[in-house]
Amino acid sequence: MDHPSDFESFKNEIKAALQNNDQALAAAKIQQYLDQENKIPLNIAITGETGSGKSSFVNAFRGMENGDEGAAPTGCVETTLEVTPYPHPNFPNVTLWDLPGIGSTSFPADEYLEHVGFEKFDFFIIISDTRFRENDVKLAREIQRMKKKFYFVRSKIDHNIRDAERSQRKNFNLERTLAQIRENCIQGLQKQGVESPQVFLVSNFELHLYDFHQLEETLERDLPAHKRNALLFAMPNVSLEIINKKKKAFQAQIKYIALGSAAVAAVPLPGLSVVVDVALLVDAVTQYVVGFGLDSWSVQRLADTTHVPLKDLTDIIVSPLALTKNNP
């Protein structure tokens, strides 16, 4: 079930069951609704030229580092020779597909999309670490012809910033440098016939900087409403805006959890409501722990990347269900 009309049907069935005082059916439908909402598939295609940083982007998006177990292999040469799925470690309904660079295949753009199975992807992210080349533009046009969404991501921005700082020294200005990189990419795409291109500047090693948040907002806005939470929950917690959006999304589910609890409480079976309430509570809180990155693996990764001692982070976490093991 991954279509918005299916969810409307679920809601109507829940409403009808409650109106008919069939609490057992209502509770079952509510649980089914919550389970299905958390299983909506989202398939993201990552493509670009050889060495552009595709695999590193796949890993960063999934909250992993290059070299972690289960991470996409990276390197200076083309490491992706076949279409390779990488499910999100915490939200397996979200899959990033590392595609071979179009420049590393013998397929023209239209046959390339057929080769990688374009129909299963919700959208494409085209990555380049320099300027976007002819193959990128041909691929974008073909994706558009297939009526799919695509987005240009300019990677390795941290390298460019470091180089600019060294060469310009006292004259270095971060905002001016970023604007120049973005404008150069846009102008290059326009010269190749791409109308009004959007280019997002991203560092795979510092997602909280530059344009990753704008990319997230754009993807969320362009997705069908019933798939937005799948994207949001899988997003790394790299900004306060993303965390607050997750908070609102989880809050929207609470009414269904409460409704399910109330429906079960009305079923005349001794002890049933207690069992269901505990199960609902544990399931919901576990989702919150994972969604906000409070499981043990995520907290350890946060300590490593921020250089804050692990104990300092764990001391401020009060939920007894946090810090559970959640290995990717």
Cα 233 from Cα 245, distance rounded (Å): 9
- Compute CA 136 distance to the chain's CA centroid, rounded to the nearest angstrom: 22
**E strands within 88-122?**
94-98
Whether residue 305 contacts residue 293, with contact meaning beta carbons closer than 8 Å, is answered with no
| Tokens 């070299």 sit on residue | 67
Q: Tokens 């399931």 appear where?
A: 283
Q: With 50 as the cut, is the pLDDT of residue 302 above it?
A: yes
Distance between CA atoms of residues 111 and 102, nearest Å: 10
Instruction: Give one DSSP letter per residue of 142-201, joined into a string.
Output: HHHHTT-EEEEEE--HHHHHHHHHHHHGGG--HHHHHHHHHHHHHHHHHHTT-SS--EEE
Task: Count how many Cα atoms sit within 13 Å of the Cα of residue 203 in the half-sphere of its side chain.
Answer: 14
CATH number of 42-234: 3.40.50.300
Model pLDDT for residues 59-96, shown as the tens digit of each residue: 999 988 888 888 988 865 555 568 899 999 989 999 99
Amino acid at 226: H
Residue-wise pLDDT for 88-107, tens only, equals 998 999 999 999 877 766 77
Q: In the prediction, which pLDDT does 181 show?
A: 95
User: What integer best gives the mean pLDDT of the chain?
Assistant: 80
310 close to 299: Cβ distance less than 8 angstroms: yes
Inform me whether the pLDDT recorded for 37 exceeds 60.
yes
What sign does the CA torsion over 81, 87, 88, 94 have?
positive
What are the structural domain ranges in the chain?
A: 4-37+239-292, 42-234
Residue 121's pLDDT is 97
Within 197-239, residue ranges assigned H as helices are 212-222, 228-234
Choice between 35 and 223, residue whose per-residue pLDDT is larger = 223
Structure tokens at 26: 């209502």
Distance CA 139, CA 143 (A): 6
Residue type at position 241 = E
pLDDT in tens, 155-205: 999 999 999 999 999 999 999 999 999 999 999 999 998 988 999 999 998
Residue 285, token pair as written in the block: 């809180």
Q: How many CB atoms lie within 10 A of CB 7?
A: 17
For residue 82, the model assigns a pLDDT of: 82
DSSP state of 99: P
Whether 189 contacts 127, CB under 8 Å: no
